[in-house]
Chain A
Amino acid sequence: MPPVPRRAALAAVLATALSAPGCATDQGVLQVAAPRPVQLDLREVDRDTASLRRDVTGRDTRVTSVLFLPTGETPRLETAIENALLDHGADVMVRARVRTIDWWFLVGVTTLEVRGDVVDLLEVE
């Protein structure tokens, strides 16, 4: 077996060290998530003109620790959902899959991610 160049071995070790200490946790699916008051009864809603955007992602990312010392910052679900809604001018998220993604190597970083469809109910009232 040919010897592995020292630089390549170092890069491999570094890449492993950077990629290994992280994990993503599936927090499940919220069929409806509305940070603001919305009309839940859809009988009066005209579905033909309803504004629906599929597969929208919202995130909130914070540095949670530096050298194992907590910063006191944590991502918030409400912010992640608001980010997804604001990007498309919508007011409710449906079929939202929620994930937390943690990564740490000297600093700890946590992302709260929501991915789903967003609906603008105000537009169709």
Chain B
Amino acid sequence: MLRALLPLLLLAGAGCALQTVPHGRFAALTTRPAPSLGFQVEGAQRMRDVEAVVLSQHILWIPTRTDPPTLAEAVEEALRRGNGDVLVDVEVDRLFFAVPLLYGQEGWRVRGDVIRSRALDREVGPAAPSAAPAPGEAAYPAE
């Protein structure tokens, strides 16, 4: 029995690899519509090193969510965490991990500085103190 399973286990183990595929570095990314006068970033609040990861998992080929994780979802999540409307100095990575036939996960990671432009402040009011760390304060600890 074990002999029969061994090749399968070896095959499964051989595919275990966490892949982080870099998709590049961007000066600016956002999913929020640009205000007609653009993003007024001079003097705006900036939260550094905000990271967002969206993942989907597959267990025995059965996905744990109905829709795949998207890049736009990752960017939106980072903006929500940073309480802003534009990401600057952004790194985008695709994440992939699989144990063939048994388990897999895939998704996106975006990491950068979130700026709350003054246009957003005028639109919805300044950020609440609890949701607005001092400039330079990371929302989440670095890896």
**B is bound to A:** yes
Task: List, in ascending order, chain B residues with CB within 8 A of A78's CB.
Answer: 23-26, 92
Q: What's the interface size class on B, roughly? A: 20 to 34
Interface presence of A26 (CB below 8 A): yes
Evaluate contact between B26 and A34: CB separation under 8 angstroms.
Answer: yes
Task: List, in ascending order, chain B residues with CB within 8 A of A32's CB.
Answer: 28-30, 34, 39, 86
Report B54 CB to chain A, min CB distance, Å.
11
Task: List, in ascending order, chain A residues with CB within 8 A of B25's CB.
Answer: 35, 78
Known contacts A31-B32, A32-B34, A74-B21: A40-B72 contact under CB 8 Å: no
A78-113: contact bitstring with B at CB < 8 Å (1 yes, 0 no)?
110100000000001010001000000000000000
Interface residue total, chain A, C-beta cutoff 8 A: 29
Evaluate contact between A28 and B72: CB separation under 8 angstroms.
Answer: yes
Quick one: which of A26, A30, A40, A77 contacts B39, CB cutoff 8 A? A40
Q: CA A32 – CA B119 in complex, angstroms? A: 15
A7-37: contact bitstring with B at CB < 8 Å (1 yes, 0 no)?
0000000000000000001111111111111
Evaluate contact between A30 and B31: CB separation under 8 angstroms.
Answer: yes
Task: List, in ascending order, chain B residues with CB within 8 A of A43's CB.
Answer: 37-38, 40
B68-87: contact bitstring with A at CB < 8 Å (1 yes, 0 no)?
10111101000000000010
